[in-house]
Chains A and B, each alone.
Chain A
Amino acid sequence: MKRFLHALDQYWFTPMPAERLAWLRVFSGAFTLWYLLSRYALFSQTAKSEASDFEPVGLAFWLTEPLSSGVFMGIYWATIAFNLAYLLGWKFRFSGPVFAVASLFLFSYRYSWSMIYHDNIAVVLHILVIAFAPAAAALSIDAYYKKEKATPHWQYGWPVRLLCAATLATYFLSGLAKVYGDLAWDWVDGSAMRAQVAVDALRKDVFGGEANPFFAFLYPNTTLFLIMGLGTMVLELGAPFVLAHRRLGMIWAGLTWLLHIGIYFVMGITFRYQMSGLIFAPFFDVEKWWPWLRRKLQQTSGQVDQSGAMQVPAGIALFDGTCSFCNRTVRFIAERDPKGFVQFASQQSDIGRALLSDYGVPSNLSTIFFVENGVVYQKSAAILRILSHLRQPWPLFAALASVFPLVLRDGVYDWVALNRYRWFGAQAQCSVPPRHLRARFLG
């Protein structure tokens, strides 16, 4: 018994880096934020649905009648606000649990109209676990202000283990429902799956849903359904055994992801959290993905010298030297760029004018330019490129901001640029940079 408890302790409370749990917070938060914003019309419609269709489930169980449209949309926007705080890891001890409960209620209410969709169960469960764990110890505003680097600890290990176990449990339940349902083991030979898919395709035809146009071609292919049916049962009923070994978990995650891709091609059903692979992220060392991706990107953009050593690439920011706001921005950037990647020149200086002329770009004081690897970025694109080279959380912020359309970002940029003199004042001539930053200024 003692040995068993010791083994359990070693397994469940394995020390893990804080960044892994933090990335899982970012993934689940970014997914729900995208989901909620992209389905604004659907949530608006839900708010106005017919009361006779209301069958409350989950956290909406206590409602005897639907909420008014205004109250529901208020909850929708409040959930989005807490979603942002959860994603950025801001006041996470408070914002995490509140967001978990708010999203649980919002999705419960959304599915209280005669149909429960199962594709978002996993993300809601993931958020519930992450929200009550120390998931903002890295990659967050909270961690930024704490200024302490979190070291690997069991506090970051058990939530990851629980996320894996919760994911596996949902698949296992799905397998059990098939075996204990009307179909029993018919799923194994593929006949049940073929009939299920056919009924779904027919219903989509008569209701104008998104059916797979090639389904009529696939329908006679019984071998395909045999493979998919058998594969589904093995992956679902075998899910608990995956906990035995880490590599087994990775293989299971890859195969189950392929299964969802197969479902999409055969049935036209998009399980977004599953197809994006985010549901399977807890099975992997996700904290290693970003440095790896960054290295690959640097290598593909030819930043490796002849000797094979990585060179620190330089980018040059060209700004309006007479604008107080721009000078403050430059100082802000320089202080958050310890590697000194970004160098500066005012557009009014000789070197600034020469650089713009070399690239054939006319001088424009109402925008900052950023020259990197022979490409000139301007307005919001320049700002985001610069932020991506600063220390955290700015690259994270840049990645999130890049989700917004360029026209919207540049609109905000233009508005600030237009008012910068009025709000922050102007200088008669270019200001002299402070001594400790002078080496970063060209010309």
Chain B
Amino acid sequence: MHLSKPFALFFSVAVLFAILLPVRENWKEKPKDSFPLSYFPMFSSKRDSICTVNYFVGYDTLGNRYYIPHALVGAGGFNQVRRQVNKKVRSENVEKITQKVAKKVAKCQEVPYCHLVRIALVRGDFDLNNYFQKGIKMPQHEKVIFTKTIERS
């Protein structure tokens, strides 16, 4: 496609203007990201030394505890699934997603998930220094939001 010089210049300016336009989101009280015109907010939020995460854990008959991987929780990458879980917790719509995960775990043939008898959606507070420097992998506090027994046919 051959463009005239003025039109090529206009096209160039329009593309660059559109790419840079989302910069105004930085000054908004509630910024909104989009695609592909993004303001690239990744890694720009403040992180405290205590990190709170909503996630699923499973237990076997001996009471051993395992994290449920994102592939058993939802579709997409781990960050997408994490956000979907947060959204469900915020909207207090946790029963349906916990049931769905319990069903997926019940169908899973992989060890240790095939031995799980119960799953729980929990909110855990982790101390980053303890976690990475002292090797204390358990959360400081953990609140159970919803639990579900695994039913296998």
Chain A residues within 8 Å of B, Cβ to Cβ: 9, 12-13, 42, 45-46, 48-50, 52-53, 57-58, 92-93, 96-97, 104, 107-108, 111, 113-118, 120-121, 124-125, 128-129, 132-134, 154-155, 158, 161-162, 165-166, 169-170, 172-174, 176-178, 180-183, 186, 192-193, 195-196, 198-199, 201-209, 215-216, 219-220
Distance of A196 Cα from B43 Cα, bound (Å): 6
Distance of A201 Cα from B53 Cα, bound (Å): 12
Chain B residues within 8 Å of A, Cβ to Cβ: 1-3, 5, 8-9, 11-12, 15-16, 19-20, 22-23, 26-27, 33-49, 51, 53, 55, 67-71, 73-84, 87, 93, 124, 126, 128, 131-133, 135, 137
B43 touches A193 (CB 8 A): yes
A181 touches B44 (CB 8 A): yes
> CB-CB < 8 A to B68: which residues of A?
208
A53 touches B84 (CB 8 A): yes
Query: With A132-B3, A177-B39 given, can you name 4 additional A-B contacts, CB distance below 8 Å?
Result: A114-B80, A132-B11, A183-B44, A203-B53
Q: A162-B15, A165-B16 are in contact. Are A177 and B26 (CB under 8 A)?
A: yes
B47 touches A107 (CB 8 A): no
Distance of A114 Cα from B45 Cα, bound (Å): 17
Distance of A276 Cα from B16 Cα, bound (Å): 24
Q: A116-B34, A132-B1, A170-B19 are in contact. Are A42 and B45 (CB under 8 A)?
A: no
Interface centre among B42, B51, B67 (most CB of A within 10 A): B42
* Residue from the list B12, B23, B47 in contact with A196, Cβ < 8 A: B47
A208 touches B33 (CB 8 A): no
* Residue from the list A52, A58, A181, A216 in contact with B45, Cβ < 8 A: A181
B19 touches A117 (CB 8 A): no
Distance of A166 Cα from B128 Cα, bound (Å): 37
B81 touches A45 (CB 8 A): no
> CB-CB < 8 A to A182: which residues of B?
44-46
Q: How many A-B residue pairs have CB under 8 A?
A: 200
Q: A154-B5, A198-B132 are in contact. Are A113 and B84 (CB under 8 A)?
A: yes
Q: How far is the CB of A132 from chain B (nearest CB, A)?
A: 6
Distance of A173 Cα from B133 Cα, bound (Å): 33
B20 touches A169 (CB 8 A): yes
Distance of A172 Cα from B39 Cα, bound (Å): 10
* Residue from the list A178, A183, A208 in contact with B67, Cβ < 8 A: A208
Distance of A209 Cα from B16 Cα, bound (Å): 35
> CB-CB < 8 A to B137: which residues of A?
205
* Residue from the list A52, A107, A174, A192 in contact with B40, Cβ < 8 A: A174
A121 touches B128 (CB 8 A): no
Q: Which residue of B lies closest to A217 (CB)?
A: B132
> CB-CB < 8 A to A161: which residues of B?
12
B81 touches A207 (CB 8 A): yes
Distance of A133 Cα from B1 Cα, bound (Å): 5
Q: How far is the CB of B66 from chain A (nearest CB, A)?
A: 10
Q: Which residue of A lies closest to B17 (CB)?
A: A169
Distance of A207 Cα from B70 Cα, bound (Å): 5
B83 touches A183 (CB 8 A): no
Q: Which residue of A lies closest to B26 (CB)?
A: A180
B124 touches A113 (CB 8 A): no
Distance of A42 Cα from B53 Cα, bound (Å): 25
B37 touches A58 (CB 8 A): yes
> CB-CB < 8 A to A128: which residues of B?
15
* Residue from the list A12, A180, A206 in contact with B12, Cβ < 8 A: A12
B41 touches A202 (CB 8 A): no
> CB-CB < 8 A to A114: which residues of B?
80, 83-84, 87
Q: How far is the CB of A1 from chain B (nearest CB, A)?
A: 15
B36 touches A104 (CB 8 A): yes
Q: Which residue of B lies closest to A108 (CB)?
A: B35
A173 touches B9 (CB 8 A): no
A208 touches B44 (CB 8 A): no
Distance of A121 Cα from B41 Cα, bound (Å): 13
> CB-CB < 8 A to B45: which residues of A?
181-183
Distance of A419 Cα from B140 Cα, bound (Å): 70
> CB-CB < 8 A to B69: which residues of A?
207-208
B44 touches A178 (CB 8 A): yes
> CB-CB < 8 A to B36: which residues of A?
58, 104, 107-108, 120-121, 124-125
B83 touches A46 (CB 8 A): no
B47 touches A195 (CB 8 A): yes
Distance of A195 Cα from B137 Cα, bound (Å): 17
Q: Which residue of A lies closest to B73 (CB)?
A: A207
Q: A52-B93, A129-B15 are in contact. Are A202 and B33 (CB under 8 A)?
A: no
Closest 4 CB pairs of A and B: A208-B69, A181-B44, A209-B78, A182-B46
Distance of A181 Cα from B47 Cα, bound (Å): 12
Distance of A48 Cα from B75 Cα, bound (Å): 9
Q: Which residue of B lies closest to A166 (CB)?
A: B19
Q: How far is the CB of A197 from chain B (nearest CB, A)?
A: 9
A96 touches B1 (CB 8 A): yes
Can you identify 26 A-B contacts, CB atoms within 8 angstroms? A46-B75, A49-B75, A49-B76, A53-B87, A57-B35, A96-B1, A107-B36, A115-B79, A117-B77, A118-B40, A118-B42, A134-B2, A158-B8, A166-B15, A177-B26, A177-B42, A181-B26, A181-B41, A198-B128, A203-B79, A205-B67, A206-B67, A207-B70, A207-B82, A208-B70, A209-B77
